[in-house]
Amino acid sequence: MDLRLSNATPTAAERAAVDGLLGLPDSRWIGGDRDDAVDARTARTGAAARARRTELLPVLHAVQKAIGWVSWGALNYVSLRLTVPPAEAYGVASFYAMLSTEPQAGRVVHVCDDVVCRVAGSEQIKEALRTQLGDHPSPDGACTFVRSPCLGLCERAPAVLVQRTGRQADVVVAPASTDHVPGLLATELSAPEYAEPVESIPQATGPDRGKLRLLRRIGATDPTSLDAYREAGGYTALVRALDLGADAVRDEVTASKLMGRGGAAFPTGRKWSAVAEQPAQPHYLVCNADESEPGTFKDRVLMEGDPFALIEAMTVAAYATGCSYGYLYIRGEYPLATTRLDSAIHQVREAGLLGGDILGRGFSFDLELRRGAGAYICGEETALINSIEGFRGEPRNKPPFPVAVGLFGKPTVINNVETLLNVLDVVLDGGAAYAAIGTPDSTGMKLFCLSGYVAKPGVYEVPFGATLRELLDLAGGITGSGRLQAIMLGGAAGTFVTEDALDTPLTFEGTRVIGASLGSGVIFVLDDTVDLLDTLTRIAAFFRDESCGQCVPCRVGTVRQEEALVRLGRPSSNGARDVDKALLADLAAVMGNASICGLGHTAATALGSALKAGLLDSAFARADAVRA
């Protein structure tokens, strides 16, 4: 391929960062020294040259970590090494919020100002940082701050992530306060001890501990030790699966009626069977751990507290569907989960539980960990596929669906973390026993993420069919004023419900009756002191920021939606407000019907539910009363 490079050259440090991941180049065609014996007679082109494009995002991560930004010189070198046009490499680098194509400070403080952290006081942290820094880096150029979407630390809100250049690991501070600001700005930031995931599970220290299934090992088993995991029963599900055979495992999963836990609620058994029946080879398995829905943190807790279980579950899924290779795609804002999973994968591989001829049964499967870089849209399955392949994380049109034409054009299973961990119980207990838990159409246990104005925020595990009221009681009730204004159910792409819905069974069918959905299991509780209009405007800004911009309905609609909400927040006559409310309804219809992916389809769902419930009118009345 004839690459059109700029005149920029990489520094020695940039070369070292790239070569450290890819190895030294052995040809002038890919950035090395000319070897006349080879280079004069051969060219690096075709499928073999394009095959390394999948390494583009990991290489950009390596440069960003080593240097603090991705320069044109680095892009030139990366393009040569991977045979990717520089314009396309730049398109990928500029797509992700955690990568910078401009020089920036060596420490970037990401202050979460999404809906949960916003009501918990993140604005005060931002103001304290702005007082110290202005809108520019610190005088020594060492530190700057940016506002961030949800960091997945909602049970410890408000949260801060410090992205650090060089060998130092990224740091999470949660809960953060203005008292932490001097430390965040210090030249030598001392990394606080990570909170152990068991601290995010209130049930783990109460009478319900014995009822936990998905969360049972967290806090009781060392998450850094494969031996400890196996002593606690780890890898018995894989042995059982290998004894049953792939067809029987799929039959058990189908009998369990296990539905996907990522929000779409697609039957897992049907998805697995669809991939297993595809004649094209190889088959791929992808774990979607890009948990970015505001208010969601259950998968983070599972990965931090029980990483070996996820690897075992992926191995079982691969066996049942005929997959030989897998990718675990984790969001870039989860440093502890990334570290523990990386260590766990190495331990499992060393023990012969990944790779060739696992447990001497003739089954081979391996996987690798891939980090996202701050793009909510990559939670959409085809956008995630594009990201792994080395393209911008933009969704694809469907059909074809990933089960037939997925990663690298091959049949692909894509499941999220919670779905996969349920598979272990299905295999060990049998599909019928699993289906007996919950309700006939919503089987098994479900994880919910409670945050906001509750006494004990955290991850809660209950059978399907529990009610919102029961979960609020488990969480110690409503704090703040003690009076419920609304609950955001399912995340920013979910719905707002009021006190009337407290006794609704939390099932797929139960929430449909009230026009809601479980989504990712978010339960964000707002008391009556919260400025709901501000919360809705932040949700609109979130979708505007996170739209990939590929399709017009979403790209334009999310901007117009935010503009209308900003206008609604200003003093206005009822007539003018009615015009903007009508516009919002039109935008919701257009985005819902014409967008390519789920982001556009659901970008107006929360706002629409607030309008339908009369919550927005109450917010207007409150705002007008304050102004009066």
Q: What is the pLDDT of residue 156?
A: 96
Look-up of token digits 């800004």:
541
* Domain-wise residue ranges, the chain: 12-93, 107-189, 205-435, 445-527, 532-627
Query: What is the model's pTM?
Result: 0.95
Q: What is the pLDDT of residue 191?
A: 59
pLDDT in tens, 315-350: 999 999 999 999 999 999 999 999 999 999 999 999
For the cut 70, the answer to whether the pLDDT of residue 621 exceeds it is: yes
Between CA 304 and CA 224 the distance in angstroms is 9
Which pLDDT band holds residue 302 (cuts at 50, 70, 90)? Answer: very high
Across 150-164, 191-205, 388-402, least confident range: 191-205
For the cut 90, the answer to whether the pLDDT of residue 587 exceeds it is: yes
**How many whole angstroms from its chain centre is CA 153?**
12
Q: What is the pLDDT of residue 419?
A: 98
Across the chain, mean pLDDT equals 93
Structure tokens at 394: 């933009």
Q: What is the pLDDT of residue 386?
A: 98
Q: What is the pLDDT of residue 574?
A: 66
Positive/negative CA dihedral, 486, 489, 493, 496: negative
Contact, 437 vs 458, CB < 8 A? Answer: no
For the cut 90, the answer to whether the pLDDT of residue 34 exceeds it is: no
Fold assignment, 205-435 = Rossmann fold (3.40.50)
For the cut 70, the answer to whether the pLDDT of residue 140 exceeds it is: no
For the cut 60, the answer to whether the pLDDT of residue 42 exceeds it is: no
Q: What is the pLDDT of residue 591?
A: 97
Structure tokens at 395: 């969704």
Across 163-172, 215-224, 275-284, 462-471, least confident range: 163-172
What CATH number does the domain located at 107-189 have? Answer: 3.40.30.10
- Mean pLDDT calculated for residue range 266-271: 97
Contact, 506 vs 466, CB < 8 A? Answer: yes
Between CA 428 and CA 237 the distance in angstroms is 6
| Phi-psi group of 125: left, alpha or beta (phi > 0 → left; psi -120 to 50 → alpha; rest → beta) | alpha
Which pLDDT band holds residue 32 (cuts at 50, 70, 90)? Answer: confident
| Residue 295 identity (one-letter amino acid) | G
For the cut 60, the answer to whether the pLDDT of residue 36 exceeds it is: no
The strands making up 160-164's β-sheet, listed across from edge to edge, are 143-148, 107-112, 160-164, 171-173
What's the length of the chain? 628
Q: Do domains 107-189 and 532-627 have the same CATH topology?
A: no
- Mean pLDDT calculated for residue range 67-80: 95
- Mean pLDDT calculated for residue range 445-458: 98
Task: Write out the CATH class of domain 445-527.
Answer: alpha beta
- Mean pLDDT calculated for residue range 503-513: 95
Contact, 192 vs 173, CB < 8 A? Answer: yes
Give which of 368, 390, 518 is closest to 442, Cα–Cα.
Answer: 518
Q: Where are the alpha helices (DSSP H) in 55-114?
A: 56-67, 72-82, 86-93
Give which of 208, 238, 241 is closest to 309, Cα–Cα.
Answer: 238
| Phi-psi group of 130: left, alpha or beta (phi > 0 → left; psi -120 to 50 → alpha; rest → beta) | alpha
- Mean pLDDT calculated for residue range 91-116: 95
Which pLDDT band holds residue 113 (cuts at 50, 70, 90)? Answer: very high
Backbone φ, ψ for residue 324 (5° rounding):
-105, -15
Q: What is the pLDDT of residue 603?
A: 96
For the cut 80, the answer to whether the pLDDT of residue 625 exceeds it is: no
For the cut 70, the answer to whether the pLDDT of residue 522 exceeds it is: yes
Q: What is the pLDDT of residue 626?
A: 65
Q: What DSSP designation does 94 have? A: T
What CATH number does the domain located at 532-627 have? Answer: 1.20.1440.230
